[in-house]
Structure 1
Amino acid sequence: MSNQGLGSYFKFNSVNWDDIWNATGETVWMTVISMILVAIFGIILGLILFETKNKGGFWSHLINIVVSFLVNIFRSIPFIILIVLLLPFTKAIVHTIIGPEAALPSLIISATPFYARMIEADLREVDSGVIEAVRSMGANRWDVIWKVLLPESTPALIADGTVTAISLISYTAMAGAIGSGGLGQLAYIEGFESNNNTVTLVATIIILLFVLIIQFLGDKWAKRCDKRNL
């Protein structure tokens, strides 16, 4: 395609930059808020899965079965379908099914099981010898969690959190197709449906920049927390 052809295909003077910045702010807001809650709930579920796995006792076994079942179910449902299934729940929680707030329940419920499974795997990688050494000194289960499991797995938790955050950005874009706001909705309504390819291009570039920035910062943070690099 010639430069003249590109100029006729992408018309940057047709872009409403106020709408772009507003949509960008909505995407950032959805990603940050949902990631904070996903991190909290994901760590809790990951610890539950790890602590109840292969542990003796009826209740530990039952809890592991129930939590594993729920995690596997919600992790398996495609995000766009999950949004539709959760519309009544979303309406009850945030009293609306459109806008950035309405996207939060679906974002959190879809990403938390994904992150929880990764956390469970990260915790299994912690040296069992270190855990036993701490226990031999009289540490209880909470001491092991706070002083061994979480500190030792921090680099992996950050790396997996980075992957989850990037997934959340793509989820916000998909949620935009049904009115959640953000760059996804802008690209779909103002770009695709209005046949304005420039808006779609700009929204895509901004999302790509977000992904690159999050990946860079996540890699740097994980490397800094890795004791092997000290």
Structure 2
Amino acid sequence: MTWNEMQPLLSQACWDTLYMVGWSTLIAVAGGLPLGILLVLTDRGGLLQNVVAQKVIGQVVNIARSMPFIILMVALMGFTRWITGTTIGREAAIVPLAIGAVPFFARLVETAVREVDGGLVEAVQAMGGNTWTIVRKVLVPESLPSLIASTTTTVVALIGYSAMAGTVGAGGLGDIAIRYGYQRFETQLMWITVAILAVVISLIQFAGDYAARSLHRRDGRSGPAPRLRLLKADAAAGETA
């Protein structure tokens, strides 16, 4: 196969992969962020302590995380068809990708939020801040560098999952590697696909690491005391009431 024949295939496959991963990441963040925060809030000693609810949510997340992605795709075929009208193609692949990524991201969020300095939480509570205020003003901003790193990890994992989804006709670079590289013995095309995936993952990891380090440096310069003063100023202005 010549480059002129490979180029349109690779271009479309790259777009399909980015499309699947992009939408799946948005859904994973939208679902996993509140779920991860809820796991922290409902834990023993949390602001919304409810040990039973925390254990139930935790078990559901653990079960979803433990299921191999290829099995999850098969198990969700009926649900995928109900949502998208089909089980083939990039739109159909988004459903299992997102559902598989939500519990994965939720656990990463839980770990990131638990690292937040409890002194800041207590300070906002002392100023009369409610749970929503603490989440909005302390937990999310203070854990943002770790949340960005968690998002990067999730995106990289989703790229791998999307390649696996190519085995069931989801499209993307994984589909090209299977259909042409493996089934038609186009070894050159398969290795080009592998190289593209490696470059994309490296760029995403670099961007995520850079953003997380930049926020860490900024937080290191500001320190907890200036942030606490800002929270006090918000409280005086009535923003944390």
Q: Same fold (TM over 0.5)?
A: yes
Give the SS at the match of 1:53. Answer: coil
Structure 2 equivalent of residue 129 of structure 1 = 119
Partner of 1:144: 134
| In the alignment, structure 1 residue 183 sits paired with structure 2 residue 192 | no
CA shift for structure 1 position 81: 0.9
Aligned-pair CA distance for 1:66: 2.1
Residue type matched to 2:15 in 1?
A: G
Aligned to 1:207: 197
Structure 1 stretches of 5 or more lacking a match?
Answer: 1-10
2:89 maps to what in 1?
99
> TM-score, normalised on structure 2?
0.87
Letter aligned with residue 220 of structure 2: R
Query: Which runs of structure 2 are paired with 1:27-38 in the superposition (5 Å)?
Result: 27-38=17-28
1-structure distance, mates of 2:44, 2:95: 31
Match of 1:173 in 2: 163
Distance across 1 between alignment mates of 2:175 and 2:20: 13
Q: How many angstroms apart in 2 are the aligned matches of 1:105 and 1:61?
A: 30
Two-structure CA RMSD over aligned residues (Å): 1.8
Q: Do structure 1's residue 78 and structure 2's residue 102 form an aligned pair?
A: no
Aligned to 1:216: 206
Q: Which residue of 1 aligns with 2:220?
A: 228
- Segments of structure 2 that go 5 or more residues without pairing to the other structure are 223-241
Q: Is the 8 A contact 2:43 2:49 kept in 1?
A: no
Give CA-to-partner distance per residue, 1:119-169, whole Å, 9 cap, x none: 111111101111101110110000100000000000000011111100000
Matches within 5 A, 1:106-121: 106-121=96-111
CA distances 1:79-102 after superposition (whole Å, capped 9, x unpaired): 111111111110111110000011
Structure 1: distance between partners of 2:147 and 2:49: 27
Residues 152 and 14 of structure 1: is their aligned pair in 2 closer, same or farther, counting only changes over 3 Å? same
- The answer to whether the 8 Å contact 1:107/1:168 transfers is yes
Shift of 1:14: 7.6
Query: What is the one-letter code of the residue matched to 1:19?
Result: L
Equivalent pair of 1:123/1:149 in contact (CA under 8 Å): yes
1:50-70: CA deviation from partner (whole Å, max 9, x where unpaired) = 111115899823321221111
What is the one-letter code of the residue matched to 1:17?
A: Q
2:16 equivalent to 1:16: no
- In the alignment, what sits opposite 1:69? 59
Matched, 1:196 2:193: no
Residues 52-61 or 204-213, more deviating: 52-61
Q: What is the aligned counterpart of 2:147 among 129, 147, 157?
A: 157
> TM-score, normalising length from structure 1?
0.91
1:174-197 per-position Cα deviation (integer Å, ceiling 9, x unaligned): 000110000000110011100000
Distance 1:83 1:62 in 2: 30
SS of residue paired to 1:201: helix
Q: Tell me how far apart the structure 1 counterparts of residues 6 and 41 of structure 2 sit (CA, whole Å).
A: 52
Distance in 1, matches of 2:100 and 2:174, equals 17
Paired residues in the alignment total: 220
Moved beyond 6 Å, runs of 4+: 56-59
C-alpha distance in structure 2 between counterparts of 1:145 and 1:57, whole Å: 10
Is the Cα contact below 8 Å between 1:15 and 1:198 reproduced in 2? no
Separation of aligned partners in 2, 1:62 and 1:134: 27
**1:5 corresponding residue in structure 2:** none
The separation in 1 between residues aligned to 2:173 and 2:81, in whole angstroms, is 22
